Structure 1
């Protein structure tokens, strides 16, 4: 069980992360932010070895507040036991025509963050894949498969949540053609 001091520290770190992230990334309304988080890594353990719903609740609560203020969708990636499926709100699934899959994430099969999202979301559904416009990876959970092309890394002052390494990215359209490219017949 995590101490109150640790939980408060994680809350403050998550809020700092989100402040820095959204200062650098402008996400249009109804775009998707994918987040992968190993609560085990946050606690300094190996991924999948010591996760906790308590830590997930602290991090996810800050995430939800931040995305709701910006009217963007939050996709929470499950662990490898559910093939890194994602928990999203039903309106996100419908808006992006995402294929729903049948499973119910729990802490030991899906991960603590996904299990917590199933509890905190209004209408949670599980989808197999997504192409998000930006992402936050807490603890090297490998969210890259759920980002649009081309992913651009973001460097932030904050580099960890608890003991977990942070990797953040936004996406941009592909740059094709180079300086000699012609885009109109004139």
Structure 2
């Protein structure tokens, strides 16, 4: 898969999520990605740092163009902590933890994002407005309830599945409640 294709697909995914989820500037989209799966290997078994660089760059560019924060889920070796700009962590009053993601301890995409961000920080968790999952990384744990699946025509990056979800406010109040 070509670098331009990755940038195009991730840009379309961010657009679709921002539109469907009505995500305002300052909102956050978290990305979970297995470069192993993108390359055709089993998750966690064939990390590709070069792909991590391309995918992290594509996500950062797509989010910045739209006034959104990008966040990146680490793998289970870092307890699925989230890489983001320090500014985003502070604005959301998240709990910061200390580690520097590496391709084999955190993942290739978060490791690349760490180097690309101006002031990288690691949060223990987040409740983002939306999520993109490339390679079945189970990023849904980092979406604010209620998660709504979203599909688009491009549903793969390389060999990896691409799935997305955005959050909506929970409906409360029962049969007499009125919703706009």
Considering the TM-score relative to the shorter chain, is it more than 0.5?
yes
Deviation track 1:60-116 (CA, whole Å, cap 9, x = no partner) reads 212111111121111100001101001010100110111110111100000000100
Taking the aligned partners of 2:14 and 2:127, their CA distance within structure 1 comes to 20
Residue correspondence of structure 1 range 12-51 to structure 2 within 5 A: 12-51=8-47
Q: 1:121 aligns with which of 106, 117, 121?
A: 117
Taking the aligned partners of 2:8 and 2:18, their CA distance within structure 1 comes to 15
Aligned residues of 1:21 and 1:156 also touching (Cα < 8 A):
no
Runs of at least 4 residues off by over 2 Å: 5-26, 177-183
Structure 1: unaligned runs, 5 residues or longer: none
Larger radius of gyration: 1
Give the length in aligned residue pairs.
179
Deviation track 1:129-148 (CA, whole Å, cap 9, x = no partner) reads 00101110111111111110
Note closer, same or farther for the CA distance 1:39–1:182 as it changes in structure 2 (3 Å cut). closer
**Given the two structures, how large is their TM-score scaled by the length of structure 1?**
0.89
Q: Is residue 138 from structure 1 mapped to residue 128 from structure 2 by the alignment?
A: no
Note closer, same or farther for the CA distance 1:17–1:181 as it changes in structure 2 (3 Å cut). closer
Structure 2: unaligned runs, 5 residues or longer: none
Q: 1:59 aligns with which of 36, 41, 55?
A: 55
Note closer, same or farther for the CA distance 1:30–1:16 as it changes in structure 2 (3 Å cut). closer
Taking the aligned partners of 1:101 and 1:136, their CA distance within structure 2 comes to 23
